[in-house]
């Protein structure tokens, strides 16, 4: 916190039925942030596990918006950002644990690399092994083909067969990336405002990809640093794999629609739909060969996802106006120059 009134970082957390994890995320942020002043703003999407009461009584006294409806990750962060006063905005997932002064280190990295305008760190699982989901390459025809053919899964460490996940890169070096994950994403509040925040069309997944791609069009060059590391468990608020994948595929379909040249969209949508179909067929074939319960279960999950294709093939429905610049684009360059 700060006593001077000046706030370096507004830490935004959107929670949904992750009470204990959210409390630990808040506690770890407080415990590990010493060099920068901060505020913590939590939006709870109508959790039924006592999250709202527990967060309200946390010793860190975060600013809490206890909602009566689940408005999703994008709109939740937009609501939190409306009440932020920090120089920077940090998106932090509720299923994260801040380690080794990660927020301090990320802000220092940002101030040393102002041109990037978006910054992220390294994420690991609870056992310390790499969680590669801290950043992504944008969706391309090439990586959709690799997904549809199953080669991204067979060769996860190959930059050719798994380019979307930057296969083979251990996130152990500073690198420019297309997309910084919203689990740990830092950007100047002025840039956030200029971009209009997250597009509310994305209910969950894909909103940070859209944000980064819009920012890149007007000069941002997102950077990842291994010096800022957090634990990210991943998917804690999503109870079923099929439910997560349906939302993820809807997000990818929306990104294709909004960021690809119009004449390439049908090809992208077709290849995207081949991903769950090919996985269903492959897992079913393996189950017939080895009579494995694991392969039968995987085939059932992919069948469920394929059968729900009406819910994801065309992306998230258009609801209201999409996010976009709410201030002159020149504000981006000005904000970068004015950062200390």
- Distances 94 to 25, 122, 187, 231, 311 between C-alpha atoms, Å: 6, 16, 18, 11, 26
Q: Dig out the tokens for 186 from the structure.
A: 């830092």
Please give the chain's pLDDT, 340 residues, in tens: 544 579 999 999 999 999 999 999 999 999 999 999 999 999 999 999 999 999 999 999 999 999 999 999 999 999 999 999 999 999 999 999 999 999 999 999 999 999 999 999 999 999 999 999 999 999 999 999 999 999 998 999 999 999 999 999 999 999 999 999 999 999 999 999 999 999 999 988 999 999 999 999 989 999 999 999 999 997 555 556 888 899 999 999 999 999 999 999 999 999 999 999 999 999 999 999 998 999 999 999 999 999 999 989 989 987 544 444 333 444 444 444 445 5
Contacts 24+ apart (CB under 8 A), 108-111: 108/35, 109/223, 109/225, 109/227, 109/228, 110/186, 110/339, 111/339, 111/340
CB 103 within 8 A of CB 11: yes
Can you list the alpha helix ranges (DSSP code H) found in the chain? 19-32, 51-56, 72-82, 102-112, 141-148, 151-154, 189-195, 207-217, 241-259, 265-290, 293-307, 330-338
CB 154 within 8 A of CB 161: yes
Domain boundaries, the chain: 9-138+165-233+320-338, 241-311
CB 182 within 8 A of CB 120: no
Name beta bridge partners: 65.
43
Q: How far apart are CA 268 and CA 260, in angstroms?
A: 9
Q: How far apart are CA 286 and CA 292, in angstroms?
A: 8
| DSSP output for 93-137 | -TTEEE-TTHHHHHHHHHHH-GGG--EEEEEE-TTS-EEGGGEEP
Conformation bin of residue 206: beta by default, left when phi > 0, alpha when psi is -120 to 50: left
User: Residue 335's pLDDT is what?
Assistant: 46
Domain 9-138+165-233+320-338: CATH superfamily is Spore Coat Polysaccharide Biosynthesis Protein SpsA; Chain A (3.90.550.10)
Residues counted in the chain: 340
User: Residue 240's pLDDT is what?
Assistant: 67
- 220 backbone dihedrals φ, ψ, rounded to 5°: -70, 145
User: Residue 325's pLDDT is what?
Assistant: 39
User: Residue 4's pLDDT is what?
Assistant: 55
Q: How far apart are CA 212 and CA 220, in angstroms?
A: 8
Q: How far apart are CA 202 and CA 206, in angstroms?
A: 7
- Other CB atoms within a 10 A radius of the CB of residue 113 amount to 15
């Amino acid at each position: 916190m700060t006593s001077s009134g000046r706030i370096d970082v507004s830490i935004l957390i959107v929670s949904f039925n992750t009470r204990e994890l959210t409390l630990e995320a808040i506690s770890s942020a407080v415990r590990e942030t010493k060099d920068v002043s901060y505020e913590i703003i939590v939006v709870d999407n109508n959790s039924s596990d006592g999250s709202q009461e527990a967060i309200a009584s946390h010793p860190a006294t975060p600013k809490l918006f206890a909602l009566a409806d689940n408005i999703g990750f994008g709109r939740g962060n937009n609501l939190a950002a409306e009440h932020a006063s920090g120089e920077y905005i940090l998106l932090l997932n509720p299923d994260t644990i801040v380690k080794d002064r990660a927020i301090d280190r990320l802000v220092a990295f940002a101030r040393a690399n102002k041109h990037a305008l978006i910054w992220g760190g390294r994420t690991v699982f609870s056992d310390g092994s790499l969680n590669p989901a801290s950043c992504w390459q944008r969706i391309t025809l090439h990586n959709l083909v690799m997904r549809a053919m199953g080669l991204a899964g067979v060769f996860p460490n190959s930059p050719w067969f798994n380019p979307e996940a930057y296969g083979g890169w251990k996130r152990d070096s500073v690198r420019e990336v297309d997309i910084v994950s919203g689990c740990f994403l830092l950007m100047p509040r002025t840039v956030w405002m200029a971009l209009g925040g997250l597009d509310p069309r994305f209910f969950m997944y894909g909103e940070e990809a859209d944000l980064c791609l819009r920012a890149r069009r007007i000069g941002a060059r997102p950077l990842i640093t291994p010096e800022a590391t957090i634990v990210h468990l991943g998917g804690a608020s999503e109870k079923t794999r099929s439910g997560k994948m349906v939302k993820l595929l809807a997000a990818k379909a929306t990104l294709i629609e909004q960021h690809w040249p119009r004449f390439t969209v049908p090809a992208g949508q077709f290849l995207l739909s081949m991903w769950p179909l090919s996985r269903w067929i492959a897992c079913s074939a393996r189950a017939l060969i080895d009579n494995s319960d694991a392969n039968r279960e995987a085939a059932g999950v992919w069948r469920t996802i394929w059968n729900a294709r009406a819910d994801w093939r065309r992306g998230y429905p258009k609801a209201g106006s999409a996010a976009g610049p709410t201030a002159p684009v020149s504000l981006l360059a000005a904000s970068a120059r004015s950062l200390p």
